[in-house]
Structure 1
Amino acid sequence: MKKLLTGFISLFSLVFLLSGCSDDPTPVEGEQYQLLPANLSTYRLAPVTEVFSLTCGHCRKMESIIPQLEELTNEHFGKLHVTFNEGAKIGAMIYYTAVMQLDGIPDTAMMDELFAAVQMGEGATLTDRQAAIEKAFTDRNLTTPYHLTQEQQQSVMGMMKIADKASREGQINAVPTFVVKGKYQVLTSGHKDVEGIAKTISYLLTQP
């Protein structure tokens, strides 16, 4: 009996150590994700929605990772542009001007151009930025944010109001982040790599 008990304890210890060192732990609430204070499902967000701003340097870096995350999670991500400060509001106007005309999210090339235009270096003038922003639109035969009709302006403002209301209700004050199923917010700072973020997203997609 003593030998059997000793063997059981040794086996239990081994299992405990292996589980403790696992590369695939279950995401923990408060560390890898958190429950949003309000359910944003009423805003018809995509199952996985990136919350971002064209003015955010980290968001620009995240943009290059989105295709990999989509592949790892087998999901096509939506986007929500925040409006929590003046710079973000300008970025949102630019972004939703494109969304309105494309009836969807701009492709990777256009997003790269918009990020680059908005985040030009300190030496760039307002004229330089405007020219770069306009080029991203005119090269695709789209109306620029500076030449919208009254009707188009109202449409863009409507999109911005929805984005603002959703981000406020969700109390999302930092970007980039991801909202899953309108209920959960991924805490990107709680992950070491892209694979970790993807695992958390995939886990949350299975939650009620």
Structure 2
Amino acid sequence: MKKITQILSLVFASLLLLTACSENPEPQLNTHYSQLPNDISDLVEQPVVEVFSLTCGHCLQMEKFIPEIEEGIGQPIGKVHVTFNESAQAAAMFYYAAAMQSETGKPDVGMMTALFNAYHANAELPAEERTQLLIDAYKERGLVSPYDLDDEQKQQLFEEVTKAVDITGKGMINSVPTFVVNGKYMVITSAHNDLPSIVNTIKYLIAKG
């Protein structure tokens, strides 16, 4: 009887260990994350940045979860707007014009919602009407739209977008949303089933250095 009890104890202990391991498995290279072809740590200001586009529907869905991910990793997440096609480049102008007028360097939740909605909630609108929605989002918040920037602000916007172009090109980033960690690793978000697994991978890459 004592021997049977010992065996059962070992079995239960093994099961507990397996469960613990399965909850936080070590992320795998080229499965859960990839290594960027070029180090872009000189171009990004924070250890973790979300790479996104206002024109991306999946990025719209990811936006609502950013606060939870930030809480999970214990630090704020920066943002980089991609510029890998013409529509993304145009959207980047609107994003960075708002970002550079924010005290935190990122538009607040209300502004991000308005910008995303202009592209997605009104997808059937003609381009002119969508542009007007974007301009109205600025005016409603006392911000200057990209069309009304002064020369100094235009130069700043040009520099911000140029940096985004450099990050997109040097990092060879062609899909969003994703997270770049330490300027060297990119999270493969589609390989994760839930937010805790994304948090787990980001924390692993932060520690990896």
Q: Same fold (TM over 0.5)?
A: yes
- Give how far 1:198 is off: 0.5
Which one is further off, 92-101 or 131-140? 131-140
**Residues 1:162 and 2:163 are matched in the alignment:** yes
- Give how far 1:115 is off: 0.5
CA contact (8 A) 1:52 1:80 kept: yes
Map 1:51-200 → 2, pairs under 5 A: 51-103=51-103, 104-200=105-201
Residue deviations 1:66-123 (CA, integer Å, cap 9, x gap)? 0110111111000000111000001100001111222510011110110001234343
Q: Which amino acid aligns with 1:177?
A: T
Report the 3-state secondary structure (helix = DSSP H, G, I; strand = E; otherwise coil) of the residue aligned with 2:180. strand
Please, which runs of 5 or more residues in structure 1 have no aligned partner?
none
Which one is further off, 70-79 or 37-46? 37-46
Counterparts of 2:166 and 2:157 in 1: how far apart (Å)?
Answer: 14
Q: Which amino acid aligns with 2:36?
A: L
- Give how far 1:149 is off: 2.2
Counterparts of 1:122 and 1:188 in 2: how far apart (Å)?
Answer: 25
Report the 3-state secondary structure (helix = DSSP H, G, I; strand = E; otherwise coil) of the residue aligned with 1:168. helix
Please, which runs of 5 or more residues in structure 2 have no aligned partner?
none
Counterparts of 2:93 and 2:70 in 1: how far apart (Å)?
Answer: 26
- Give how far 1:145 is off: 1.5
When normalised by structure 2's length, the TM-score is 0.88
When normalised by structure 1's length, the TM-score is 0.88
Aligned residues: 201
Equivalent residue number for residue 29 of structure 1: 29
Q: Which amino acid aligns with 1:84?
A: F
**Residues 1:19 and 2:18 are matched in the alignment:** yes
Counterparts of 1:132 and 1:180 in 2: how far apart (Å)?
Answer: 34
Residue deviations 1:26-62 (CA, integer Å, cap 9, x gap)? 1111111111111111114311100000000000100
